[in-house]
Structure 1
Amino acid sequence: MTTMNAVAEAVREAAVAAARAVDRLGVRNGNENEHGEDSGNNGNNLGHLERPMTLATFLKVKPPKFKGTLVATDADNWFLAIERSLRAQHVPEGQHVEFATYMLEGEAEHWWQGIQRLLQQDEGDIPWNTFKDEFYKKYFPRAARDAKEMELMQLKQGNTTIAEYARKFDDLCRFSKICQGNPADFEEWKCLKFEGGLREELMNSVVPLEIRNFAELVNKSKLVEECSKKAAIARADRREASRRDLIQNLAPQGRNFKFNGQFDRQNRNQRNGNFLARNNGNYDNNNLGEEEGGQSQQTQDISVCSRCGKDHGNRACRYGTHTCFSCGEYGHISRNCPKGLFEIQPGHNNKEGFLP
């Protein structure tokens, strides 16, 4: 009887174990989708990390392609982007090189085919770190990284805005050996370096604040820059107002005065007209000046005829009368004078006998 009871107990335990196994199998099948991939219902979600992933699944995130470049930062940007894509799809580490190199095209693809033959002599998988070292050795060598670090050390704000300066500063920091590891270890260094590159008028306002958080430092610098711009505009407006007041005070009294240089232009044109009038009078008078009639320049300017615009002294103006300038008779000109007289009257063209 005891033996039969022991056998029955063993059968019941076997049945319970079989039922539990069936239950576990059903749960596992429920967590997999129609493509055999884990649906994510498992609490610890570790099954999909252990199974290989198909290339089609990886391409769903549209990872970037790389055709090769002469710009080192472009190569670095691509590598960082492909790493994000691999992490986003939870690609197993053993497939990182396979999927990443699938995105190489053109010159980059030819380069990798040659490197792959050298690295796979033992037919084993190429580690991700090995691919990374070879990629950076080709497209972002140490000399290029050193040049970027030197550019960071010499970076100044110059004529750029705070936003542009901070963007360039952050971009160069990722290539610096100082800015590697835990950000808290080099946060103060970044702040000091950033302050040292600011323009003098901004530096004088920002440095006394002693900000040692980089994000806060950039925001405060932007505020100071904005206030500085507003102050500069206000100063310019005050200078312009002072200049206008000065010009108004210097304007002649009792005249219609307009700004923007109109009064100055009128005075200047008037002076030029007087100067030309005096010169024309001197030229037509054969530059006789004070030698003819003993009159001064001022007297000649006053005695200019209002009818012909010339200076002919005390003689009557014969302009337009068709009168001989030699004998004074009407009907002929001086060159055809029957009396044979030919007298030059100042201020007139005696070749024709009268002014046209």
Structure 2
Amino acid sequence: MIDEGVTAVLVTRATTQNGDDNHTSRTGVRRNERAVRECTYQDFMKCQPLFFRGTEGVVDLTPVCLRDETVFRISNCTVENQVKFATCTLMGIALTWWNSHVRTVTNDVAYAMTWTDLKKKMTTKYYPRNEIKKIEAELWNLKVKGTDVVAYNQRFQELALLCDRMFPEEANKIKRYVGGMPDLIYSSVVASKPKTMQEAIEMATELMDRRINTFAERQAENKRKFEDTP
């Protein structure tokens, strides 16, 4: 009833402000809305994509690509414009590399490629093998420091984004994540049998919070007992 009332008010206001001919016919049936306007370069840039200079390799490129894909969605960027708009965020040596590629294959060929093909080409160019090995080694040996599961979650997810090929299945990623848990909660997380990374993260965080709270309560109880002892 509330939804119907709100809708009626909005329709009445629109009719009053813009006239019946703009929105409704004489029969009271609402006309079709105007087609969604095509995303322009200005629309794309208003969504604040990240710029890529090509100086930090894989660490810098991955978040740039993820941000571009988010901007494509929220700006309604068409498939035909994705490469054209995304390459406008290249700067420095990355822009020099792209301009060289355009001169080699011509404008038509360069901008006819898909976003997926562009990502592959940039990955090949800016993912040095030695840099990837270092990141993979860090991820493989990553563990929770003390009881700071939150910091572990953050770093694990950052590295996992950069090392997708290490985890062909979600189960592989979960196993590596759980392997970094401290003995304090490791068995409990394994026993919960998480099926997704989100489940594993939530379970580990909740279990550690409980352990920390229990420890704090015991300390407070022991302190009270000590103070009450003559």
TM-score by length of 1: 0.46
Task: String of CA shifts for 1:24-46, please: whole Å, max 9, x gaps.
Answer: xxxxxx9xxxxxxxx9635xx7x
Q: Which residue of 2 aligns with 1:33?
A: none
**Against the structure 1 CA distance between its residues 138 and 230, is the aligned structure 2 distance closer, same or farther, given a 3 Å change threshold?**
same
Please point out which of 112, 130, 144 is paired with 2:131: 144
Q: Given that residues 65 and 103 in structure 1 are in contact (C-alpha distance below 8 angstroms), is that contact kept between their aligned partners in structure 2?
A: yes
Instruction: Point out which structure has higher relative CO (alpha carbons under 8 A, 6+ apart).
Output: 2
Indicate how the Cα distance of structure 1 residues 41 and 194 shifts in structure 2: closer, same or farther if over 3 A, else same: same
2:181 to 198, 210, 220: 198
Cα separation, 1, equivalents of 2:157 and 2:197: 10
Contact 2:49 2:64 survives alignment (8 Å) = no
Distance in 2, Cα, partners of 1:92 & 1:209: 43
**Alignment partner, residue 221 of structure 1:** 204
1:176 aligned partner: 164
- Cα distance in structure 2, aligned partners of 1:85 and 1:234: 47
2:142 is aligned to 155
Alpha carbons of 1:239 and 1:215: their partners in 2 closer, same or farther (altered >3 Å)? same
| Counterpart code for 1:167 | Q
SS of residue in 2 equivalent to 1:124: helix
The equivalent residue for 1:118 is: 104
Identity %: 23
**Which residue is 1:328 aligned to?**
none
Question: Closer, same or farther in 2 for the Cα pair 1:54/1:150, shift >3 Å?
Answer: same
Note if contact 1:76-1:140 (Cα within 8 Å) is conserved in structure 2: no
State yes or no: 1:135 paired with 2:128. Answer: no
Task: Provide the C-alpha distance between the structure 1 equivalents of 2:222 and 2:43, rounded to a whole number of angstroms.
Answer: 67
Equivalent residue, structure 1, for 2:81: 95
1:64 is matched with: 50
Q: CA RMSD in A?
A: 3.4
Residue 62 and residue 242 in structure 1: after superposition, are their counterparts in 2 closer, same or farther (change >3 A)? closer
1:261 corresponds to: none
User: Alpha-carbon deviations, 1:229-273, whole Å to 9, x = none?
Assistant: 233334545666787799x7xxxxxxxxxxxxxxxxxxxxxxxxx
Query: Secondary structure at the residue paired with 2:87?
Result: helix
Distance 1:212 1:69, change over 3 A: same
Cα distance in 1 for partners of 2:149, 2:110 equals 47
* 1:202–1:65 CA distance, 2 compared to 1 (3 A): same
Q: Which has the higher helix share?
A: 2
1:41 aligns with 2:34: yes
Q: CA deviation at 1:77?
A: 0.7
What secondary structure, in the 3-state scheme, does the structure 1 residue paired with 2:123 have?
Answer: helix
Aligned to 1:334: none
Structure 1 residue 71, shift from structure 2 partner: 5.0
Q: How many angstroms does 1:78 deviate by? A: 0.8
Q: How many residues align?
A: 197
Deviation at 1:166, TM superposition (A): 1.8
Offset at residue 142 of structure 1 (A): 4.2
Could you tell me which runs of 5 or more consecutive residues in structure 1 were left unpaired when the two chains were aligned: 1-29, 31-38, 181-185, 249-356
CA distance change for structure 1 residues 208 and 55 in 2, over 3 Å: closer, same or farther? Answer: closer
State which structure, 1 or 2, has the greater radius of gyration over its C-alpha atoms: 1
Among candidates 77, 88, 99, match of residue 63 of structure 2: 77
